[in-house]
Structure 1
Amino acid sequence: MTDWSGVKVLVTGGSQGIGLGIAEGFLSAGAAVAISGRRPATLAAAAEKLGGPGRRVATIVADVADPASCARMAAEAQQQLGGLDVLCANAGIYPERDIDELTAADVADIMATNVGGTIFSVQACRPALKASGRGRVVVTSSITGPVTGFPGLSHYAASKAAQLGFVRSAALELAADRITVNAIGPGSIRTEGLDGLGADTMAKMLACIPQRRLGSPADIAAAAQFFASAEAAFITGQFLVVDGGQTLPELPDAP
């Protein structure tokens, strides 16, 4: 299996939720990790959580919706880590809005962060990933949009489906640089965003998952490590659903 010592990883949106779990997974495996986010205080708290003996956690304040900020993020990651082998383009937002309530600003904001942020992060990191000789891009998409739909998240679903269009075409463009580009589609994952939903809502969520449990950020981290591994060198432009079987049943009560 891949030896992660000496591997340099940047996780965007790495200060909480799935991104924090991805960073933890790579750190535990022995990689050097940088996390980026928009809020310095949240990044500092995440670094404290992730820190430990022998662990190297770099933090970078950046807004992936801004190409100039992405360019600075990539430069800082290379400087702090001594290079870059893996980009986990994880940063994203998911505000709920009914279709009738959506404004031009709502649509522009979610597309700028979820789609533009993915594109600009890859664009900025491409030279360093090429220089590594084994560059990897792992995009956090979702089952919502590419596979399923959800009321109130139509603009989010559109952004996540758009990410996959980028992944497939970017995989072709970056292949000559020996960079693979793949995406993960998380199902219902237990993160801070689910806190406070209540027992009834949680029970309904669990009823939709054949494994009868929510996923954990560690489940997504494992998928990210697979795509970033030497063993996955011949896999590119692909989409891996990690949802405990949530999208499999033909009928709601099939399990």
Structure 2
Amino acid sequence: MTDRKVALITGSGKQRVGWHVAEALGARGYSLAIHYRTSAQEAAETVKEFRSRGWEANAFAGDLADETAVKKLMADVLSEYGQLDALVHTAAIWQPKKLEEVTAADVRHYLEVNTLATFLCCQHAGLAMVKQATGGCLVTFGDWATIRPYLNYAAYFPSKGAIPALTRTFAVELAHRNPRVRVNCIQPGPVMLPAELPEAERAAAIAGTLVKREGTPQHVAQAVLHFLENDFLTGVCLPVDGGRSVFAGTGD
């Protein structure tokens, strides 16, 4: 057992949102379990960077759509640290594709990587947490736009639309077994938009917010910390989107 709380952050090997969440948790005193699927070199560099700051960090590999791999991941983290206090599941995929080009294989792939992986991680991390007297907290990642889908992501949005229901389901299931286990969801808006995104799409995403700017990964990390530290929140889905999900536009 470690004196520090332990957080597993999936998809945190590369410097995307998960990396910044891990950075925020490390600064808060958490021991870090850095998950990656194929980015072994980037994960090793992340661990080296965090250790240079005096933080406890280790890298763990796993294909999160594979049940056996997820079970092994949780077992490895528990073997290393002796406990698991937080799971932040940021790992996901998304790419634009016209509806005419979407195949059944595309849909299955999104459901496996985004939906099934979230389910398996919540299931096995959650069942480990219910055995702990201190419980734990799970944070899933949805997408604000599942309530107002835009074009060219017909395979992606259903895979993320399931996450709020999954979050509420696990909040009920796990609290029934241990009231100190909580599950919440973050629904990011335009945060760390891909560099390859066409400029017109980037401008439209920003214009669609009420705050008229792109968010930062720190905004997401702050929301994660809020869920971890406020122990009266569970079953909640929080858009972190600058008002993108409520703004209907000017009508121009």
Q: Structures share a fold, TM > 0.5?
A: yes
Counterpart of 2:5 in structure 1: which amino acid?
V
Larger CA deviation: 219-228 vs 51-60:
51-60
| Contact 2:126–2:138 under 8 Å retained in 1 | no
Q: CA deviation at 1:173?
A: 0.7
Quote the Cα distance in structure 1 between the aligned partners of 2:250 and 2:55: 44
Q: Deviations over 1:230-249 (max 9, x none)?
A: xx222211100101112222
Calculate the TM-score normalised by the size of structure 2: 0.90
Equivalent residue for 2:143? 142
In the alignment, structure 1 segments of 5+ residues that lack a partner are none
Q: CA deviation at 1:68?
A: 0.4
Equivalent residue for 2:188? 186
Whether 1:81 and 2:81 are equivalent positions in the alignment is yes
Counterpart of 1:234 in structure 2: which amino acid?
F
| Contact 1:168–1:237 under 8 Å retained in 2 | yes
Candidates 223, 240, 243, aligned match of 1:242: 240
Quote the Cα distance in structure 2 between the aligned partners of 1:197 and 1:96: 10
| Contact 1:33–1:81 under 8 Å retained in 2 | no
Equivalent residue for 1:94? 94
Larger CA deviation: 169-178 vs 128-137:
128-137
Q: Deviations over 1:168-201 (max 9, x none)?
A: 111111112121111000000025xx21435544
Counterpart of 1:151 in structure 2: which amino acid?
L
Quote the Cα distance in structure 2 between the aligned partners of 1:59 and 1:93: 20
Quote the Cα distance in structure 1 between the aligned partners of 2:172 and 2:41: 38
Q: Deviations over 1:145-168 (max 9, x none)?
A: 1x2212111221111111111111
Larger CA deviation: 13-22 vs 110-119:
13-22
Larger CA deviation: 236-245 vs 43-52:
43-52
Equivalent residue for 1:38? 37
| Contact 1:64–1:120 under 8 Å retained in 2 | yes
| Contact 2:127–2:174 under 8 Å retained in 1 | no
Whether 1:11 and 2:9 are equivalent positions in the alignment is yes
In the alignment, structure 2 segments of 5+ residues that lack a partner are none
Q: Deviations over 1:75-130 (max 9, x none)?
A: 11112223101111221111222222111211111101111101111122123212
Calculate the TM-score normalised by the size of structure 1: 0.89
Question: Where do residues 9-158 of structure 1 align in structure 2 (5 Å cutoff)?
Answer: 9-16=7-14, 17-39=16-38, 40-132=40-132, 133-145=134-146, 147-158=147-158
Quote the Cα distance in structure 1 between the aligned partners of 2:59 and 2:41: 11
Equivalent residue for 2:165? 165
Counterpart of 2:36 in structure 1: which amino acid?
G
| Contact 1:10–1:35 under 8 Å retained in 2 | yes
Q: Give the count of matched residue pairs.
A: 245
Q: CA deviation at 1:21?
A: 1.3
| Contact 1:184–1:239 under 8 Å retained in 2 | yes
Q: Percent identity?
A: 27
